[in-house]
Amino acid sequence: MKKLSIAIMSLMLISVTLMAQNEISKEERAFAVKHLTDTQNEMLKTLKGLSDEQLNFKPNAESWSVAECLRHIAISENALWGNFVDQPLSVDADPSRRSEVGMTDEVLLGVIESREQKVKTFPPFEPENKPEPVKEVIKEFKKLRSEHIKFAKKTDADLRHHYGTLPFGTIDVYQALLFMSGHTKRHTDQMKEVMADPSFPKD
């Protein structure tokens, strides 16, 4: 009986150890939560106090307005979560695919945050697909981001062994969180570029 109890306890300890190995580290969790929080706050700070004229100003016919950048961010927040978090986590973890992830977290953030190379978005992500008033779009985004930050704080899912595929390669679900957050920064910077235009309406 004593040997059986020892064996059961040993299996439990092994199980707990394996679960701990599959979780992201405290440092990774803290970084993701901070990045998601900081990029949200910076976007909201950028939008604060803008008039309708300022929100809808375009430097030229090809540019997006600040409001259109916001709408694109909100559409993407929802779609990226569904495609690169919810869907991958709905299947079993697969450590054998880990080698498919070709980018480090740092490189991934550098790629998505950089404004040096402009990329035309896919039709479903166009701002025109979200015609709601800016106040409603902000409200929706804040609700989504709050849920995503809560997930990052609490999840014990094996984020490193579930995957999604972007045009430039395979990423894991932890990286999907960073991609989503970095995407917000990318287009907040785009808002700032619009606001820096000499013709941007003054208060």
Predicted confidence (pLDDT) per residue in 44-66, tens digit: 999 999 999 999 999 999 899 99
pLDDT greater than 60 at residue 105: yes
In this predicted structure, what is the pLDDT of residue 120?
Answer: 81
In this predicted structure, what is the pLDDT of residue 116?
Answer: 86
Q: How many residues does the chain have?
A: 203
- In our burial notation (b when 16+ CB lie closer than 10 A, e otherwise), range 47-83 reads beebeeebbebebeeeebbbbbbbbbbbbbbeebbee
In this predicted structure, what is the pLDDT of residue 12?
Answer: 41
Q: Assess contact for 28 and 173: CB atoms under 8 A.
A: no
When pLDDT is cut at 50, 70 and 90, the band that residue 1 belongs to is low
Tell me the two tokens of residue 167: 């045009």
Which whole number is the average pLDDT over 100-104? Answer: 96
CA distance 162 to 42: 29
When pLDDT is cut at 50, 70 and 90, the band that residue 22 belongs to is low
pTM flag (> 0.85): yes
Taking only the tens place, the pLDDT of each residue in 62-78 is 899 999 999 999 999 99
Cα–Cα distance list, 109 to 37, 48, 57, 203 (Å): 15, 25, 29, 34
Which whole number is the average pLDDT over 6-19? Answer: 39
Taking only the tens place, the pLDDT of each residue in 147-189 is 999 999 999 999 999 999 998 899 999 999 999 999 999 999 9
Dihedral angle of Cα 108, 125, 115, 39, to the nearest 10 degrees: -70
Which whole number is the average pLDDT over 4-12? Answer: 44
pLDDT greater than 90 at residue 119: no
* Higher pLDDT pick, 105 / 13: 105
pLDDT greater than 90 at residue 19: no
Residue boundaries of the structural domains of the chain = 25-195
The structural architecture, per CATH, of the domain 25-195 is Up-down Bundle (1.20)
Which residue in this structure is represented by tokens 């409001």?
67
Query: For the chain, what percent of residues have pLDDT higher than 90?
Result: 81
With a CB cutoff of 8 Å and minimum separation 6, the contacts of 73 are 43, 141, 183, 184, 187, 188
CA distance 111 to 76: 16
> For the CA atoms of the chain, what is the radius of gyration?
21
Which whole number is the average pLDDT over 99-111? Answer: 96
- In our burial notation (b when 16+ CB lie closer than 10 A, e otherwise), range 89-120 reads beeebeeeeeeebebebeebbebbbeeeeeee
